[in-house]
Amino acid sequence: MTLQAIAERGLAAATRLYSHLAPGAERLGEPLAQAPAHANPVVIVPGFACDAGFHAPWQRSLAADGFDVTVLQDPLAGTGDAREAAQLLGRTVDDVLARTGARRVDLVTYSAGVTTARAYAQLDGGAPKVQRMVAVDGTWRGDDDSRKLARIGSIPLVGGALRRAIPRDYTDVQFDSAVQRAINADGELPRGVAVTTVASPADEHASHAGGATNLVLRSSPSHMGIARSSAEAYETLRGALLA
């Protein structure tokens, strides 16, 4: 087993332990007055090192508000190959459509999950099965951690090994990765998909997508807090699903 595979599996195990020990808010936001009529089923796409349990607050809250909601069950918790995660998302979407009889789903992505969702919609032909994509606190065109990666690689004696141990998804979400270049070459937005981005003020510009509805929160929750404890973020993504 490679150092990279060991790192991915170790990080995924740590993520599952965290979700078990810290289940997050039981309910986010003010309840809807009535369940949404004719809403599409929702599929939540977790980010880097986030398992399904990490998104239990969103899942519980959406279910309580009357949505049919599924969280992508990635055994590597968003640390593995982004294209493989996109293929898993495709199978999940097909299962949801078969179970519900719906024609399309709405995707709610978190952080690096936007790359997984865009790869599915734009590279794997998934766009016709998606009506809305709500991207929460995700860098739309990819991250630029080149300086950080260079510093890691330059550490004496161990830099090369540490660089090889970096999980694949972290590399895949970089703006100059092969998968990110392929996505961006396809266009700014998935064809026929209504896109809304939701960001904290500090991440407004990185999250902005040309041609999308770009929303900025009034408050400034942490990156984890935006998914785990922010009522405003939840109500904003819920509003985008109901738009």
Residue 34 φ then ψ, to 5°: -150, 155
Distances in Å between the alpha carbon of 202 and those of 20, 26, 209? 29, 27, 15
Extents of the domains making up the chain: 3-29+38-242
Q: What is the mean pLDDT of the chain?
A: 93
Give the CATH number of domain 3-29+38-242: 3.40.50.1820
How large is the C-alpha radius of gyration of the chain? 17
Q: Under 8 Å CB-to-CB from 151, ≥6 apart: which residues?
A: none
CA–CA separation, 233 vs 134, rounded Å?
11
Average pLDDT over residues 81-95: 97
Per-residue pLDDT at 22 = 87
Q: Tens of pLDDT along 24-79?
A: 899 999 999 888 988 999 999 999 999 999 999 999 999 999 999 999 999 999 99
Q: What angle do CA 117, 46, 142 make, to 5 degrees?
A: 55
In percent, the amount of the chain with pLDDT more than 90 equals 74
Q: Is the dihedral of CA 206, 13, 81, 128 positive or negative?
A: negative
Per-residue pLDDT at 31 = 94
In percent, the amount of the chain with pLDDT more than 70 equals 100
At 12, the pLDDT band (50, 70, 90 cuts) reads confident
Strand partners, 105: 130
At 154, the pLDDT band (50, 70, 90 cuts) reads confident
Per-residue pLDDT at 28 = 96
At 6, the pLDDT band (50, 70, 90 cuts) reads confident
pLDDT at 21 over 80: yes
pLDDT at 189 over 80: yes
User: pTM of whole model > 0.85?
Assistant: yes
Average pLDDT over residues 159-186: 90
CA–CA separation, 196 vs 194, rounded Å?
7
Q: Tens of pLDDT along 190-209?
A: 999 999 999 999 887 889 99
Distances in Å between the alpha carbon of 177 and those of 19, 75, 76, 141, 171? 29, 23, 20, 11, 7
3-state secondary structure the chain: CCHHHHHHHHHHHHHHHHHHHCCCCCCCCCCCCCCCCCCCCEEEECCCCCCHHHHHHHHHHHHHCCCCEEECCCCCCCCCCHHHHHHHHHHHHHHHHHHHCCCCEEEEEECCHHHHHHHHHHHCCCHHHEEEEEEECCCCCCECCHHHHHHHHCCCCCHHHHHHCCCHHHHHCECCCHHHHHHHHHCCCCCCCEEEEEECHHHHHHHCCCCCEEEECCCCCCCCHHHHCCHHHHHHHHHHHHC
